[in-house]
Amino acid sequence: MKRLDELFDVSYGSKLDMNKMVAATAKTGIAFIGRKGGTEELSGFVEEITGLAPYPADFLTVALGGSPLAAFVQQRPFYTAQNVAVLEPVDPKMPLRHRLYYAMCIKRNAWLYYPLGREANRTLGTIEVPDEPPEWVDDCEIPSAEGLQRSQLPPVPLGNAASWPDFRIGELFSVSKGKRVTRANRAPGVTRFIGASQNGNGITDLVDLGRASLRAASRFPTTATVSAGPSTKKSRSLHATM
């Protein structure tokens, strides 16, 4: 095992306040990294500050407060908020897979810290991580959005929208009614549970709905659902173990 500061140079970020900066778009601005966790900790985009160069892409950021030890490899130049550490690999040739692995190792230590209490400001560099990533890390596939916007089939001419007729949902889909299943009647499993969510294709849980759960669910009123086919949502992540 090695201390984190043996593998990375640890600095404490730009220490900026986003509300005092000029907002920008993703195309023209610099990424602003906060400490809220999720979505690479991205809070938005701001204009570049004259005389203050942003950190380069491929450095790691680690939240010290807010969502302690939420760690990400940034994909574009960035500034940071208060209480966000920046980790630069001592070896500039460290592969992206290895950087992602160490980011996940850092996250696994989050249980040691909590907001407004024991934060990682002084002890981040002392966290111990493996000397080298295991061999399986080099075999992992890094998810990519490349090609997602490319159509698999040739474009279909839609004609004049003013000439489009009205239609009923039932003419396009088979509408069925689903059974309401409360959390109390669900057990963890591998079946995708669809809820009233606008995110993740509506998938809110992975459950095991055995016969007992289905019998219990039948006592509740039904709700209408519309299905256009099976979900194609997939999750591919590089998972680290300590």
For the stretch 194-209, pLDDT in tens is 888 888 888 888 888 7
Judgement on whether residues 219 and 106 belong to the same structural domain of the protein: no
Same domain flag for 105 and 194: no
Query: Each residue of 68-127: pLDDT tens digit?
Result: 899 999 999 999 999 999 999 999 999 999 999 999 999 999 888 876 667 788 899 999
Cβ pair 71, 33 in contact under 8 A = no
Q: DSSP letter string over 117-176?
A: SS-STTTGGG-EE-SS--GGGGGPPPP--TTTTS-SS-------GGGPPP--HHHHS-EE
pLDDT at 144: 78
Residue 60 lies in a domain: yes
Q: Which CATH number belongs to the domain containing residue 86 in this structure?
A: 3.90.220.20
Cβ contacts of 170 within 8 Å, gap of 6 or more: none
Task: Please tell me whether residues 126 and 181 are part of one structural domain.
Answer: no
Q: Are residues 77 and 190 in the same domain?
A: no
Give this prediction's pTM.
0.62
Q: Tell me whether residue 184 is in a domain.
A: yes
Contacts of 97 (CB under 8 A, 6+ apart): 133, 137, 138, 140, 142, 238
Q: Residue 63 has what pLDDT?
A: 92
131 and 199, same structural domain?
no
Range of the domain at 183: 169-226
Looking at the fold, whether 135 and 25 belong to one and the same domain comes out as yes
State whether 78 and 176 are in the same domain.
no
Q: Are residues 32 and 113 in the same domain?
A: yes
Whole-number pLDDT of residue 211: 52
Q: d(Cα 240, Cα 31) in Å, to the nearest integer?
A: 26
Average pLDDT, the chain: 84
pLDDT tens-digit readout, 157-189: 888 988 988 989 999 999 988 878 888 888 888
Number of compact structural domains in the chain:
2
Q: In this structure, are 29 and 75 located in the same domain?
A: yes
